[in-house]
A and B are shown apart, each in its own frame.
Chain A
Amino acid sequence: MEDIVKKFQNKFRKVREEMKQWDELQSCLISQFRNASHIVERLQVLQNSNNYGVLKCVGGMRDALLEKQIESFRNILVSMKKTLEKFHCIVLSLDKIHRDSRQQVKGGSYNLSVKQLQQQVGIKPSLIYCLDSLMFIHEIYNSEYMLKSSVISALSEMALNPSASDLSALQQLLVDQPNLHTEEGMFELSVW
């Protein structure tokens, strides 16, 4: 029993590391999103040849500028997809942590009884509660990952049809991370 409790503590330590990495990726993704949406916002201004002032004397300026901006937009999209890929890795790792723990407790060498799983020692939560928490953490992060993917694909379509209000709504979604209720998710972690 002592042994398995230690193992769970390690699992939660790993989960905490993954979350830390998630936060780093989150700020990276937001700055990428800001850069991309700056470009999208500018595109309409750049398309209007009346906005070129003295640059009108430089032949082909408008087309060259638009081409350059779209190229940078594409580059940012590519790096955002790479960031998303890393988010996905975290989700997969959280899933693995949960499945491994379940395997150890239920099917593994310990062969614990239901009573042992529900047993609560002192203020420490029961093993079954820990398992549920691991599953819950994986689920909320998975939903958040899905949300981020759809926000990014919405952004890539928006280059053709830009709207400033939609852009800021999308950015708010990315910042808020509505699927992650940190207070609930963190409760178990603080106990261990």
Chain B
Amino acid sequence: METLDSAISTPSRSTDSKPQTSSPLPPSALRLWRPNAQRNLRNQWSELASCKNRWFSASSAGRFQATALVNSHLSQRYMPDMKLGVLSDMPGIRKQACLKLYKRQELQRSKLLLSYKEMVGIVSHMINLSRSMKCFVKVPNNSPLLQFSYNSADRSDSVDGGDGGGIPVFTFYSITSHEKFAEELVEMFKLELCLKRLLVLEFLSIGYDTSEVKQLHWSAQLYDDEFRDLRDCNLYCEVTNGPVPPRLRDGKSDIGALRFDNQPNPEVLQVYLTTWLAEANIDTLRVDEIFAVVEEEMHVSIC
């Protein structure tokens, strides 16, 4: 939880403390800064928009896999009582069918995991984009030309805070305001990613026998280097040595009570699938609003 919160507040705090009116840049430099900053913001926002679209297609692919997985599992569970009509005379037909369904479920597990991995990658990319909105001015030693950089790693040798002294980049909004919009957006996807992770864990554990289920817990790595990726997303808590627990925007979580069930009843499975579909942490109206405001500000259409 701490890692999440500190990530949100640090960038805005450092820029907000600067006085908004006085710019450390001379007017001539500022005149050059603005088009560069504008170009950078346009690029970052259109990338963010494409990330958002990629997220929704990855999420719906994941839902498709999860639904198929649940169906394979339920068919296996119902197989002993299924009326097979004329087929019931065939020797070992139920066993064969179950084996086939089991194999299919294995395949669907790995596909679901791929969708999850893709979503992790998207969120990580979105975070990078939201942190690359500043435009730093650099004055090289032996050159009269100004250089511009969008990488906060270059912050040390740049002559300003990267925000043009807080002036509006287009019409109304400063770099800080753009960053705030982007953070608000990214935050929704981060929270949703944690929730999806919980669902993925649950979908992966259904149908496994109990000994294997014990190995699946919140701090288990779902794929190689998952925790490295989650650290990139600020979703790994070093204090608890595990991924940040799932929660809703204004809610809490109680991960201590977490028990994965390998034979959940169909109603519970339906709730899981609905939760995947509903994306409770992503306020779609607000997302659209943010992109609309930014488009209006930048005079481009990015969605």
A residues within 8 Å of B by Cβ?
A: 42, 45-46, 48, 51-61, 64-65, 67-69, 72
Contacts and interface: CB of A to CB of B under 8 A. Distances in A.
Given A64-B248, A64-B280, A54 B254 contact: no
Contacts of A64: 248, 251, 280
A61 B275 contact: yes
Given A48-B267, A59-B253, A65-B274, A54 B259 contact: yes
Nearest to B261: A53
A21 to B, nearest CB: 29
14 contacts: A42-B270, A48-B267, A53-B261, A54-B202, A57-B245, A57-B255, A58-B198, A58-B248, A60-B248, A61-B251, A65-B278, A67-B280, A68-B280, A69-B274
A53 B257 contact: no
Counting chain B residues whose Cβ lies within 8 A of the other chain, the interface size class is 20 to 34
B272 A55 contact: yes
Contacts of A52: 268, 271
A50 to B, nearest CB: 8
B271 A58 contact: no
Interface string B245-271: 111101111111111110011011011
Given A42-B270, A48-B267, A52-B268, A58 B247 contact: yes
B129 interface: no
B270 A45 contact: yes
A169 B195 CA distance: 37
Interface in B65-105: none
Contacts of B272: 53, 55
A65 B275 contact: yes
A59 B278 contact: no
A54 B247 CA distance: 12
A46 B274 contact: yes
A46 B253 CA distance: 19
B267 A58 contact: no
A60 B249 CA distance: 10
Interface in B157-209: 195, 198, 201-202
Given A45-B271, A48-B267, A64-B280, A59 B248 contact: yes
- Considering residues A46, A54, A67, A68, which has the most beta carbons from chain B within 10 angstroms of its beta carbon? A54
Contact of B246 (A58, A69, A72): A58
A57 B271 contact: no
Nearest to A55: B275
Nearest to A69: B278
